A = this chain, B = another copy of it.
Amino acid sequence: MFCLIVPVDLGMTFKREIKELFARGHESHLRNISVDCVIFGFHGGELKVLLLKALYSEHWALPGGFVGQDEDIDESANRVLQQRTGLSDIYLQQFRVFGEAGRATQKMNRKILSEIGIKGEKSWIFERFVTVGYYALVDFLKVKPASDHFSSGCEWFNVYELPQMMMDHDVIVAKALDYLRFQLNYHPVGNNLLPEKFTMPELQKLYETILGRNLDRRNFQRKILGVGILKRLQERKSGLSHKAPYYYKFDLRKYQKALQSGMGFQL
């Protein structure tokens, strides 16, 4: 259900494209710099992250890419997000640059290329890459996961149960999660992660899942209502007892305002 394995096309077109990228990609792309996207979704009470299965490897990787010579770096991240999820107009936030000298891609890339039958010692692809980490919060149900050239599948994983990750991608996910938690203190969260209408327990569950700890029900309700970004609907969640919880919606005008000006929300 969370998974869509795209069959690996190892035909001529694919090989030609990889060969071209290997040999002359540096003419159309910046060298030594890449983008990686941590794409969060929320489903079944779990915070999930979208990962790609690296070709010829047991490792998984973040959706990422190179930066076109004429492309703003934010555009590169948006392109990656769109290609891997089918979504556009999603707010992507730079959160950190990963530029340690030791994070070389060489070994993994050499393996993939040699498996495909492309040989050669020198390529810009074997050089060191500094990567810019972006994160996005997306509507899980709207995403159509899709692999790229270097992967054989694209799947959602529980952020607390990651598979074996390539390079420092586990660190990048951990840092994105730190950043998201920190954001909870001053930015509203939920608009892309929850359905349009949701109950207070569902909203609390989202916060608890991101924070990785339980929150006091009354305290949470008092604080989140105090921020003034929620509208309570007349409708209650059906199929439950007479104590069924009311539905809420975000007041999107106030939500956007709180996104811009911050809201000092300490849980």
**Which residues in B have their C-beta under 8 angstroms from that of A262?**
182, 185
| Size bracket, chain A contacts | 20 to 34
Question: At the interface, yes or no: A266 with Cβ under 8 Å from chain B?
Answer: yes
Give residues of chain A (111-165) contacting chain B, Cβ–Cβ below 8 Å: 128, 130, 132
CB distance from A252 to the nearest CB of B (A): 23
A73-B130 contact given A33-B33, A264-B264, CB 8 Å threshold: yes
Within 8 A of B (CB), among A67-122: 67, 69-74, 94, 96-97, 99-101
| Interface: A186 (CB within 8 A) | yes
Q: Which residues of B contact A185 (CB under 8 A)?
A: 186, 262, 264
Q: Using Cβ atoms and an 8 Å threshold, which residues of chain B touch A30? A: 31-33, 128, 130
Contact present for A101 and B71 (CB under 8 Å) = yes
Mask: chain A, 151-195; 1 = CB below 8 Å from B; 0 = not: 000000000000000000000000000000010011000000000
Interface residue ranges, A against B (CB under 8 Å): 30-33, 67, 69-74, 94, 96-97, 99-101, 128, 130, 132, 182, 185-186, 262, 264, 266
